Amino acid sequence: MNFRKNKSLFLFLLPGLILYTIFFIVPTVNALIYSFTDWDGISPEFNVVGIENYVQLVTNDSIFLKAFVNNIKFMLFVLIFQTLFSLIFAMFLIKNTKTNIFLRALYFFPTILSSVSVAFIWTFIYDPNMGMLNSVLSTLNLDFLQQNWLGNENIAIYSIAVTQVWFHTGQMLIIFVAGLQAIPKDLYEVADMEGAGRWSRFRFVTWPMIAPSATIVMAYTTIQSFKAFDLIFAMTRGGPNYSTEILATLIYSTAFRSFEFGYASAQSVLFMIVIAVITVIQFRLLRASRVQE
């Protein structure tokens, strides 16, 4: 199709482009501009401070570093377990039987809940005094496993990560099911003829064929993990002692509690760069295992 000859076709792109410009490009460019200022987000005036915000962030902000480390811990935990569980469940639920369709819907159900509802449910489950988790452990005579799940700074971030995995595994499962169902059956027949075992079938047929789905799942999970603001804010507000503070909650706190919009903008720009770098690395690593299309 020759777009030069059909210029009117560009008009179809216009609504989307306008919305994208207003709601993404303009705020992003503004964030970049404000990251070089000391704007408090309210006052009409501000000063340009050059790269001072970035220097402070990189050299003299222990909380930013802590939030970044927490984010990496959270992301790795969620990435590993969410991908693993969604893939395993998808492999069990690949056939379109009535039971499997019901189970897929059941596993997908948490995804349609609001984050605040999920946070409320899990805060109750984790409550150290009357929560379901400690009660179940007590009933099973496993009292030694009881924990202060959200109050112990060594495990709080992982407790929230478990909630995140529960929240989104069903969503990723659907992507994997679609990927698995698209694998031609004859590839498995060839593998059988070659005498491949279960692991070899997975390693040399299934995984390379679902690598595009895995790329989407892992990239999406990574981005989701970095942006798990609502869940963390509703469950712990970043505490205790910054142990569940992640970059998104820190940026919120800097902007809307400390009213340092300029500094929060600098944090946002670095945050965006971090997500972009990690996503690009993932795409490159996963591309290596993909079947050439």
Partner 1 sequence: MIRKLACVSTFALGALLAGCVGGTGGNSSSENGEEGTISFIHWRGEDKAVFDELISKFEEENPSINVDMTIYPSEQYQSTAQTTLRDGSTGDVFTSFPGSQLEIINKAGLFEDLSDEAFIDQYEPQLIESGQADGKQLAVPLQLVFNQPVYNKGIFEELGLEPATNWEDFLALCETLKEAGYTPIAFPGSDIGPGQFMNPMMMNNAPNEDVFDQLMAGEASLTDDWWVETLAQFKELNDKGYLNKDALGTNHSAAISQVASEEAAMLATGSHAMASIKEMNPEIELGLLAPITTTEEEAKWEGIHTTTFMLAVNANSEKKEAAKKFVAFLSETENAEQYANETSQHVTVKDVEYDSEELTSTSEWIDRNTRFQPRFLIPNADVEKAVISSIQSVLGGKSPEEAAKEAQQIVEQNL
- For partner 1, the binding residues (CB under 8 A) are 22-23, 26-27, 30, 33-34, 40-43, 56, 60-63, 114-116, 123, 126-130, 148-153, 229-230, 233-234, 236-237, 239-242, 252-259, 261
Please report how close the Cβ of residue 124 comes to partner 1 at its closest, in angstroms. 10
Distance CA 242, CA 249 (A): 10
Distance CA 193, CA 213 (A): 27
148, 205 contact by CB (below 8 A): no
Choose between 83 and 115: whose C-beta lies nearer to partner 1. 115
Please report how close the Cβ of residue 34 comes to partner 1 at its closest, in angstroms. 7
Take residue 34 and report the two structure tokens written for it. 């404000």
Choose between 164 and 213: whose C-beta lies nearer to partner 1. 164
Choose between 188 and 242: whose C-beta lies nearer to partner 1. 242
Which residues have C-beta within 8 Å of that of residue 115, sequence separation ≥ 6? 167, 230, 231, 234
Choose between 128 and 212: whose C-beta lies nearer to partner 1. 128
Please report how close the Cβ of residue 35 comes to partner 1 at its closest, in angstroms. 13
Take residue 241 and report the two structure tokens written for it. 């002692």
CA of 94: how far to CAs of 76, 104, 189, in Å? 26, 9, 17
Take residue 67 and report the two structure tokens written for it. 């939030």
Please report how close the Cβ of residue 233 comes to partner 1 at its closest, in angstroms. 6
Choose between 86 and 244: whose C-beta lies nearer to partner 1. 244
Q: How many other β-carbons are positioned within 10 Å of the β-carbon of residue 113?
A: 13
Q: Which of 206, 176, 210 shows the shortest CA–CA distance to 107?
A: 176
Please report how close the Cβ of residue 123 comes to partner 1 at its closest, in angstroms. 8
